[in-house]
Amino acid sequence: MKLSMDRAREIAKALKFKDGLITAIARDFRSKDVLMVANMNEEALLKTLTTGLMHYWSRSRKRLWLKGETSGHYQRVRGVWVDCDGDAAVFDVEQVGAACHEGYYSCFYRKLRRGKLVTALKRKFDPKKVYG
Amino acid sequence: MKLSMDRAREIAKALKFKDGLITAIARDFRSKDVLMVANMNEEALLKTLTTGLMHYWSRSRKRLWLKGETSGHYQRVRGVWVDCDGDAAVFDVEQVGAACHEGYYSCFYRKLRRGKLVTALKRKFDPKKVYG
């Protein structure tokens, strides 16, 4: 999915950035598994919509961040949903490789089981080899 | 799902609240559709885990909020997933009624179609009758 900059700007106008940010949830477009949640500022949203690749705003590093820029694990946008308040969006994505820098397909790899957090997914890659 | 306060406190310890908050994503435990995204402070998380009903922290109203307290549209917790950073969680919930105060089952009822945002879900109830 790639929009023209004009169309992307119209979408951005319909959103309500809080402190300059919206919440962006990326999920696998086939399984609907949630892969990660992060923030987008207006620039990250416009880049995402016009390139078809997920971009985020890193609050800790204070910079625009193309998901996959170092790992090659890009997220191709297949669909976008916006919530009632306009301050959050769900992106259906085609995940290249794995979403989590720790090597799991999803960042949500820990699950509550009998009252304790356990690792519920298997690693897709060794994080030291890809990100080290 | 209901945990003892001791178990719930252990889970809370494993999380990293940023500015006192984590991001909480509620999704339908059957369809995996994302219903809403909001914030939880530690108290909201502990209440959620010990009562089995989703509680949030409202940043705008600055108070603890039991989802469904006015509408009756409670969310019963069926599962919990935590992300790598420990600052976000996905809750599999059984939604009573509908999640969105505008009457839609999910707050994410608008979808990008041919470059424009369109309403993609049908209302489950008339918001004026339930919330008015």
DSSP string, B53-67: B-EEEETTTTEEEET
Question: To which residue do tokens 């949640």 refer?
Answer: A37
pLDDT of residue B132: 42
Rounded CA gap, B80 and B119, in Å?
29
pLDDT of residue B127: 86
A129 pLDDT tier (thresholds 50, 70, 90): confident
For residue A76, the 8-state DSSP code is E
- Three-state DSSP class for residue A103: coil
pLDDT of residue A131: 56
Closest chain A C-alpha to B113 CA, distance in angstroms: 8
Mutate to test the interface with A, among B83, B101, B110, B114 (most CBs of A within 10 A): B83
User: How large is the angle between the packed helices A42-51 and A5-14, nearest 10 degrees?
Assistant: 140
C-beta of residue B99 within 8 angstroms of C-beta of residue B36: yes
The domain total for chain B is 1
pLDDT of residue A132: 42
Tell me whether residues B25 and A33 touch, CB distance under 8 A: no
Query: In sequence order, which residues have a C-beta less than 8 Å from that of residue A18 and are 6 or more positions away?
Result: A87
Q: What is the pLDDT of residues A5-26, one digit of tens each?
A: 999 999 999 999 999 999 999 9
C-beta of residue A118 within 8 angstroms of C-beta of residue A110: yes
Interval A68-81 mean pLDDT: 96
Closest chain A C-alpha to B49 CA, distance in angstroms: 9
pLDDT at A75 over 90: yes
Tell me whether residues B84 and A90 touch, CB distance under 8 A: no
Closest chain A C-alpha to B123 CA, distance in angstroms: 13
pLDDT at B129 over 80: no
Q: Which residues of B touch A3 (CB under 8 A)?
A: 115
Instruction: Find the closest chain B residue to A8 by CA distance.
Output: B115
Which CATH number characterizes residue A82's domain? 3.10.20.810
pTM of the predicted protein model: 0.96
Tell me whether residues A101 and B111 touch, CB distance under 8 A: no
Mean pLDDT of the residues in chain A: 95
| Cα B28 to chain centroid, rounded | 10
Q: Which residues of B touch A4 (CB under 8 A)?
A: 115
User: How large is the angle between the packed helices B5-14 and B42-51, nearest 10 degrees?
Assistant: 140
Rounded CA gap, B110 and B87, in Å?
26
| Torsion angle, alpha carbons of B21, B22, B28, B34, to 10 | 100
Rounded CA gap, A83 and B87, in Å?
21
ipTM of the complex: 0.95
Q: What is the pLDDT of residues B27-77, one digit of tens each?
A: 999 999 999 999 999 999 999 999 999 999 999 899 999 999 999 999 999
Q: Which domain holds residue A30?
A: 5-131
Query: In sequence order, which residues have a C-beta less than 8 Å from that of residue A104 and are 6 or more positions away?
Result: A98, A121, A122, A123, A124, B84
Mutate to test the interface with A, among B2, B11, B90, B125 (most CBs of A within 10 A): B90
Query: In sequence order, which residues have a C-beta less than 8 Å from that of residue B59 and are 6 or more positions away?
Result: B21, B39
Mutate to test the interface with A, among B81, B101, B116 (most CBs of A within 10 A): B81
B131 pLDDT tier (thresholds 50, 70, 90): low
Question: To which residue do tokens 């699950």 refer?
Answer: A111
Q: What is the pLDDT of residues B77-127, one digit of tens each?
A: 999 999 999 999 999 999 999 999 999 999 999 999 999 999 999 999 888
Is the four-CA dihedral B73, B74, B80, B85 of positive or negative sign? Answer: positive
Tell me whether residues A112 and B11 touch, CB distance under 8 A: yes
Q: What is the pLDDT of residues B50-60, one digit of tens each?
A: 999 999 999 98
Tell me whether residues B37 and A25 touch, CB distance under 8 A: yes
pLDDT at A116 over 60: yes
| Cα A128 to chain centroid, rounded | 22
Interface of B to A at Cβ within 8 Å reads 1, 3-4, 7, 10-11, 14, 23, 25, 27, 31-34, 36-37, 79-85, 88-90, 100-102, 104, 107-112, 115-117, 120
Rounded CA gap, B34 and B29, in Å?
9
C-beta of residue B99 within 8 angstroms of C-beta of residue B26: yes
The token duo for A108 is 């949500």
**Measuring CA to CA, which residue among B25, B8, B18 is closest to residue A107?**
B25
